[in-house]
Structure 1
């Protein structure tokens, strides 16, 4: 897009009014990305995040208004405050022990076991559904330079050409 002086002034005016980049793009008949790019090149001030704007608006709505806070303020005349004497502390009378409700024992925390292989040279192909007692790893001898046995390596390592032929 060729940016004329009028288009740049219109962009600056809409930007100063606080319109979103999408809205500016709609009004000017250009894409939002064109607006963003030109605003960046013109070094226009950054927009605040819409998320932060919503949080600030919610905080402002929850905060008391200054006029209401002034009405609740302390009296104009200050007098020295005298603290009343604290009442004596009396221990509560002992009560008969009530039977405690039966508490359930908390389930033990989940045990995270490290990757279990019988040796560094054993196949680590997963067999079964993780999290079930039947889940295990293949324990066959691993193929040289691979983490899997010959059978599982043939499944895991497929040439790109072979995949294309299977798809056809």
Structure 2
């Protein structure tokens, strides 16, 4: 199929009107949707308006809903909300829309008061045995790095406290991920 000047002009006009590549191919006749897309790219035609108006005017900007988690921290929203231009894909077209973004800062951490943390025996790697807790504490690159070293049960490499941290039931992990 040859792209005549008239067909190229019709392609440009239909593209600017916001028709899809399939619709343009149907109106031109004798070309496929992929041929239309290829010609649009070779002509370096700009992104086009959607048929029926702009996307930001037709639909309100999405706002992230803040869900209250049963976790131990809570972020407080900043006093001001800002508007950002965000690019998102809609099929093969990249659209820009303005989205209102709430700025967050300052995280408050509240720890449960009923947790008893065992006193670590502060063992080095060479001092560990099969009956001592192998929970690492601190930064391995620092001199004060050590292992818990408390007594363990037969089923785990960790003491009771650290085993509860390491092995959480699936339902608890799913709740924390929400």
User: Do the structures match in fold with TM over 0.5?
Assistant: no
Q: Which protein has greater RCO, CA pairs closer than 8 Å, 6+ apart?
A: 2
Structure number with greater Rg is 1
1 or 2, which has the higher helix percentage? 1
Q: State TM-score, norm by structure 1.
A: 0.31
Give TM-score, length-normalised by structure 2. Answer: 0.30
